[in-house]
Amino acid sequence: MRLFYAIFPPRTVQRTLAEAQRSLRGNWKPVREDQIHLTLGFLGDVPEAELARVRRAGREAARASGPFVARVRGTGFFPGEGRPRVWFARAEGDGFEPLALALREALPEFLADERAFKAHLTLARRKGPAPRVAPVVFDLEFPVEAFALVESRLTPRGPQYTVLDTFALKERDERGKQRTAKGLAKHPQAD
């Protein structure tokens, strides 16, 4: 199973980011609107026998983290110099890095080789000659109250995502007792 942990922004944010994709020219392949997400950790191929452990790591990371606000401000490229392969929207938020680190520490055999974590939402991948996209500035915010464990199946028409589990981030009441974030909606990819 090809798995990753991800935060999917609300549909309204996905829609705004997808509108920016209209400026793409050349051989840029846009990410489907409903698949725009922030990857907390890409596990790659995981044996099915490890799935319970991967789910447990997600639950424990969520239990140790509280809800936070994500901000999306502008676009960039990977790599930053030379010929870019990925066009993305930068994401900021106090909870991204601690969540990614907790997952990496819980599953080092799957996540230890990952590059340094940089919070972003991929908008397009370059598939051949293509000009750089002009910078786009956003002023978007959304609450992060959960993240998902996602299976990705590669097909000739592009990846197909299936949300296997959703992990609610925990907030603490005035006595320090944990509770699930208020207003947590069903994950948009679980529809």
Residue type at 97?
A: E
Residues 95 and 145: their CA atoms lie apart, in Å, by 10
Q: Catalytic: 187? A: no
Among residues 20, 35, 37, 147, the one annotated as catalytic is 37
Residues 150 and 138: their CA atoms lie apart, in Å, by 27
Among residues 38, 41, 61, 120, the one annotated as catalytic is 120
Q: What does the H/E/C string look like for 108-177?
A: HHHHCCCCCCCCEEEEEEECCCCCCCCCCEEEEEEEECEEEEEEEEEECCEEEEEEEEEEECEEECCCCC
Half-sphere exposure for 184 (CA within 13 Å, toward CB): 19
Residues 168 and 172: their CA atoms lie apart, in Å, by 13
Residues 122 and 100: their CA atoms lie apart, in Å, by 17
Cβ atoms < 10 Å from Cβ of 133: 20
- Enzyme catalytic residues: 37, 120
